[in-house]
């Protein structure tokens, strides 16, 4: 799918970004087997001959390029021929909600347990529920009972957060003794939601096609399922999605129809949903609805006539999304039935079904698999779920069998119908709930006609129960209150080093998407070398085959070297290691300082630096998917942010250095000229691999980013402590920090004290132009 980008001529604030949207003449790279005969060289281990690498079936490959020990380089600092970019999968099309999301079952239950923990933590972080917030009093109000012959309907509202209301109807069996099983029933994207009253022509079509038997059910299949479940002996809570029916505080036009950014709702102190500030705090409509669903379960289990061990959840379409999300995050449901939603194809088109980070490296089938081995039933229709019988469901069958519950997964394909939760689909759900909630109903279960209730009969608001406040100001106050609540909760984790690493580190592990253990196998590809007198210059391609990534890099290796190496990162890429255009082959003074001391220095062009670029335009915005709606989740719910991808590159460099420099005893990291935050994040994800980190922060904070496609935008970074938290996660490793005019951030100092390593902190007041030399001098200290 086509992506759009915005570029302007000129310099980026760090002079490090370039055009990321251009024609990509991808060439096949034939890796040449070669070996340097230099004792202790980083290239002493042999390479391997690899065949052409298939990047994408739609790309046309050009003639092969042999890059073996060239004596006449194309240009002093280039690894690849002029105009050629690395053969990196990240330069290809972005993934979006219409992609392909297969589920590959694990080989063992233990392997799945590890995978399931990560996917579930990913969901918790993406929905803004890591760690799980405290439950505030619901202050539930139940009123306006409507008596029917064999069930009752009541009006309900409660506060999922102080001042934030969940609204719905409560259906109860009549003439039976409890306690009863309970069913949570999210409605999905039917017109007017809980107040659905279908048009006459739609009613006639449903009746004529056999989708419905009764006019009342054709008017509202939503009411039909609630009535039938109540008749089968269940308490049913049918509640509103944001903006539907009685949920009036955040309008439907915003929650489900958002299309354009609102400048008036985007400031570091006063923000609204979908803004960069909200996304940096992982505040989303999907997160609010997921929290409402969890609190709705709290409401149900708090009812005296409910058996809390027999809880079910079912919804279709967007209600299906809510079903598998709440069932993945909340352990209380005993049976789930997401209808016409679980699929390897389209993952959910509404803004309420998407959130940053949510489906990066996962998808709806795997999310649904988190419910195993508990009973999971589904339907498929002639929509995006139509291939589930052959793509998705067989893997779920294999997965449930692995966990010892092969009979606990079911798919009812009803491909003769379009997108629906009609009578045949509901019949499959009734059978499933009858079995697994132990309802004891005689089968076959057939719906009976019922009295349709109009919106005026169902609404929870009246003169005695007035509508609460809503609108933009309420939205701002709600998000600020959630932020303040989250910061109070997170502050508790700052008092213990282990808890800080678990909570903050666990969140950033998801946000960044990779740590050193998952960096993958890294090898050297095309290269050349030059003898520069007292050191050797190696220009090469670093290839991460596990992730389909490449980056050009340089190693400057003193002939008289000591077992110490420094990865030197800069906003300008690997060219910053050298003096400049007037003498491009001579190392910059700080680099010379390290080389003369015998320290090996590595630099690289990270993604969209240096050789990734083919012109002189400056990147001011990262790519976005073709979806015209300006919601970050459509891009960053399926793709890593550029910031995270650059951290991945740094991890590859660290992995390569550790694997291919056998005599290495110490590896340090430097981040300057805009690269400081990337270096801090990479150190946080590297365990103890980095002995010392020297960086210039430039007073950078994620909270100051005001555009979703800023190259340094990172979802969730503000919520989890911003840059100071990344620095603190490196404790107790030695740290040298420049660019902080207010002094060492308090969180960094506190965490290092907890680690008993305050002596490992150095705050530099060095002037900007002298920072490289000062950093190099610190690295050379004992």
105-131 average pLDDT score = 98
Residue 617 clears pLDDT 70, i.e. is over it:
no
| Predicted pLDDT of residue 40 | 36
User: Residue 19's pLDDT band (boundaries 50, 70, 90)?
Assistant: very low
Residue 704 has what DSSP assignment?
G
- 441 φ, ψ to 5°? -80, 145
* Residues 188 and 297: beta-carbon distance below 8 Å: no
What distance in Å separates the CA atoms of residue 137 and residue 772, rounded to the nearest whole number? 55
Higher pLDDT, 241 or 69: 241
Per-residue b/e over 584-619, b at no fewer than 16 CB within 10 Å? eeebbebbbbbbebbbbbbbbbbbbbbbbbbeebbb
Judged on CB neighbours under 10 Å (0-12, 13-18, 19+), 415 is middle
pLDDT for position 585: 84
320-361 per-position pLDDT tens digit: 999 999 999 999 999 999 999 999 999 999 999 999 999 999
Assess contact for 329 and 127: CB atoms under 8 A.
yes
Q: pLDDT (tens digit, 9 = 90+) per residue, 501-538?
A: 999 999 999 999 999 999 999 999 878 999 999 999 99
> Residue 491 above 90 pLDDT?
yes
Give percent of the chain with pLDDT exceeding 90. Answer: 87
- Cα dist. 755→361, 500, 506 in Å? 33, 11, 18
**In this predicted model, which residue has the larger pLDDT, 768 or 9?**
768
339: part of which helix (H) or strand (E)?
strand 335-339
Please report, for the chain, how many H helices and E strands are present, in that order: 22, 22
Of 56-65, 127-136, 508-517, 607-616, the least confident: 56-65
Helix (H) or strand (E) holding 474: helix 472-492
User: Is the pLDDT reported for residue 5 higher than 70?
Assistant: no
Does position 753 have pLDDT exceeding 70, yes or no? yes
**25-29, 198-202, 462-466, 606-610: which has the minimum mean pLDDT?**
25-29
Reported confidence tier of residue 44, pLDDT bands at 50, 70, 90? very low
Q: Can you give the pLDDT at residue 760? A: 98
Render pLDDT for 226-278 as a digit per residue (tens, 0 to 9).
999 999 999 999 999 999 999 999 999 999 999 999 999 999 999 999 999 99
Q: What average pLDDT does the segment 694-720 reach?
A: 97
Residue 657: Cβ-neighbour burial (10 angstroms; 0-12, 13-18, 19+) = buried
The answer on pLDDT for 583 being more than 90 is no
Name the pLDDT band for 618 (thresholds 50, 70, 90). Answer: low
Can you tell me whether residue 169 is helix, strand or coil? strand
When pLDDT is cut at 50, 70 and 90, the band that residue 6 belongs to is very low
Q: Is 228 left (phi over 0), alpha (psi -120 to 50) or beta?
A: alpha
Q: If you search the block for the tokens 């099983």, which residue do you land on?
A: 181
Q: pLDDT at position 16, please?
A: 34
Q: Give the integer Cα–Cα distance in Å for 724 and 56.
A: 39
65 pLDDT more than 80:
no
- Report the pLDDT averaged over residues 214-237: 98
Q: Which residue has the tokens 């100001």?
A: 473
Is-contact 244 222, C-beta < 8 A? no
Q: Find how far residue 234's CA is from the centre of its chain.
A: 36
Structure-block tokens of residue 91: 């330069």
Task: Quick: pLDDT tens for 459-490.
Answer: 999 999 999 999 999 999 999 999 999 999 99
Which residues, 6+ apart, have CB-to-CB distance to 761 below 8 Å? 735, 737, 744, 748, 749, 752
What is the distance of C-alpha 464 from the center of its chain? 43
Residues 6+ apart with CB under 8 A from 573: 16, 603, 604, 605, 606, 609, 610, 611
Which of 13-22, 324-333, 639-648, 725-734 is least confident? 13-22
CA separation for the pair 358, 361 (Å, rounded):
9
Q: CB of 308 within 8 A of CB of 341?
A: no
Mean per-residue pLDDT for 407-431? 98
- The pLDDT of residue 76: 66
Retrieve residue 263's tokens: 């400048």
pLDDT surpassing 50 at residue 9? no
Provide the mean pLDDT of the chain: 90
Convert the pLDDT of each residue in 84-101 to its tens digit.
999 999 999 999 999 999
Q: What is the pLDDT of residue 615?
A: 74
pLDDT band, very low/low/confident/very high, at 56 (cuts 50, 70, 90) = very low
Rounded to an integer, the average pLDDT of 154-180 is: 97
251: buried, middle or exposed (CB in 10 Å: 19+, 13-18, 0-12)?
A: middle
Phi/psi for 156 (5° steps) reads -135, 140
Average pLDDT over residues 148-157: 98
């Amino acid at each position: 799918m086509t992506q759009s980008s915005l570029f302007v001529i000129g310099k980026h604030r760090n002079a490090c970004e370039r055009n990321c949207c251009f024609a990509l003449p991808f060439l096949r790279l034939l890796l040449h087997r070669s070996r340097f005969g230099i004792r202790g060289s980083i290239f002493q281990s042999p390479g391997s001959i690899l065949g052409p690498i298939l990047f994408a079936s739609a790309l046309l490959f050009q003639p092969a390029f042999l890059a073996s020990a060239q004596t006449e380089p194309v240009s002093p600092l280039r690894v690849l021929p002029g105009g050629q970019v690395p053969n990196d999968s990240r330069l290809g099309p972005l993934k979006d909600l219409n992609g392909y999301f297969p589920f590959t079952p694990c080989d063992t239950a233990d392997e799945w347990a590890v995978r399931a923990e990560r996917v579930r933590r990913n969901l918790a972080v993406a929905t803004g529920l890591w760690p799980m917030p405290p439950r505030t009093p619901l202050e539930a109000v139940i009123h306006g009972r409507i008596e029917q012959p064999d069930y009752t309907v009541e009006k309900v509202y409660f506060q999922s957060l102080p001042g934030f209301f969940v609204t719905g109807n409560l259906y109860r069996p009549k003439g039976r003794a409890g306690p009863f099983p309970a069913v949570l029933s999210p409605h999905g994207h039917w017109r007017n939601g809980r107040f659905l009253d279908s048009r006459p022509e739609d009613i006639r079509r449903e009746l004529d096609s056999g989708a419905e038997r009764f006019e009342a059910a054709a008017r509202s299949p939503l009411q039909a399922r609630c009535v039938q479940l109540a008749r089968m002996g269940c308490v049913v809570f049918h509640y509103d999605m944001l903006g539907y029916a009685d949920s009036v505080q955040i309008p439907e036009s915003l929650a489900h129809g958002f299309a354009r950014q609102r400048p008036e709702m985007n400031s570091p102190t006063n923000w609204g949903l979908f803004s960069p500030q909200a996304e940096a705090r992982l505040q989303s409509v999907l997160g609010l609805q997921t929290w409402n669903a969890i609190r709705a379960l709290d409401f149900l289990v708090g009812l005296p006539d409910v058996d809390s061990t027999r809880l079910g959840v079912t919804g279709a379409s967007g209600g299906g999304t809510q079903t598998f999300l709440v069932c993945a995050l909340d352990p209380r449901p005993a049976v789930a039935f997401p209808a016409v939603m679980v699929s390897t194809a389209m993952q959910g088109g509404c803004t309420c079904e998407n959130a940053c980070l949510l489906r990066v490296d996962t998808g709806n089938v795997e999310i649904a698999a988190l419910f195993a081995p508990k009973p999971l039933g589904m339907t498929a229709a002639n929509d995006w779920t139509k291939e589930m019988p052959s793509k998705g469901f067989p893997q779920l069958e294999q997965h449930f069998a692995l966990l010892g519950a092969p009979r606990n997964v079911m798919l009812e394909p009803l491909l003769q119908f379009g997108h629906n939760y009609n009578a045949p689909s509901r019949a499959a759900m009734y059978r499933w709930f009858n079995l697994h909630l132990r309802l004891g109903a005689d089968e076959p279960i057939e719906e009976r006609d019922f009295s349709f209730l109009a919106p005026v009969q169902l609404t929870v608001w009246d003169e005695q129960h007035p509508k609460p406040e809503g609108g933009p100001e309420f939205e701002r106050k709600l998000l600020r209150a959630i932020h303040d609540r989250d910061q109070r909760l997170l502050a508790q984790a700052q008092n213990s080093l282990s808890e800080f690493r678990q909570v903050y580190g666990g969140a950033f592990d998801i946000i960044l998407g990779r740590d050193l253990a998952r960096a993958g196998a890294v090898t050297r590809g095309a290269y050349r070398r030059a003898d520069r007198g007292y050191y050797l210059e190696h220009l090469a391609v670093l290839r991460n085959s596990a992730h389909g990534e490449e980056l050009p890099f340089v190693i400057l290796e003193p002939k008289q070297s000591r077992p110490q190496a420094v990865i030197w990162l800069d906003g300008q890429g690997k060219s910053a290691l050298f003096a400049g255009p007037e003498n491009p082959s001579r190392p910059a003074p700080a680099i010379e300082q390290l080389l003369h001391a015998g320290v090996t220095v590595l630099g690289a062009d990270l993604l969209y630096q240096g050789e990734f670029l083919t012109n002189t335009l400056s990147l001011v915005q990262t790519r976005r998917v073709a979806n015209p709606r300006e919601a970050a989740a459509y891009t960053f719910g399926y793709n890593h942010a550029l910031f995270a991808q650059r951290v991945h590159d740094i991890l590859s460099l660290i992995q390569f250095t550790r694997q291919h420099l056998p005599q290495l005893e110490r590896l340090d990291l430097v981040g300057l000229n805009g690269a400081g935050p990337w270096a801090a994040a990479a150190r946080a994800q590297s365990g103890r691999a980095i002995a010392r980190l020297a960086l210039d922060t430039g007073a950078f904070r994620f909270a100051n980013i005001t555009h979703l496609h800023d190259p340094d935008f990172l979802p969730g970074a503000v919520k989890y402590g911003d840059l100071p938290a990344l620095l603190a996660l490196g404790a107790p490793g030695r740290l040298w920090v420049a660019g902080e005019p207010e002094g060492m951030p308090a969180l960094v100092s506190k965490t290092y004290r907890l680690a008993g390593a305050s002596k490992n902190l150095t705050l530099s007041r060095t002037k900007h132009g002298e920072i490289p030399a000062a950093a190099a001098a610190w690295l050379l200290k004992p």
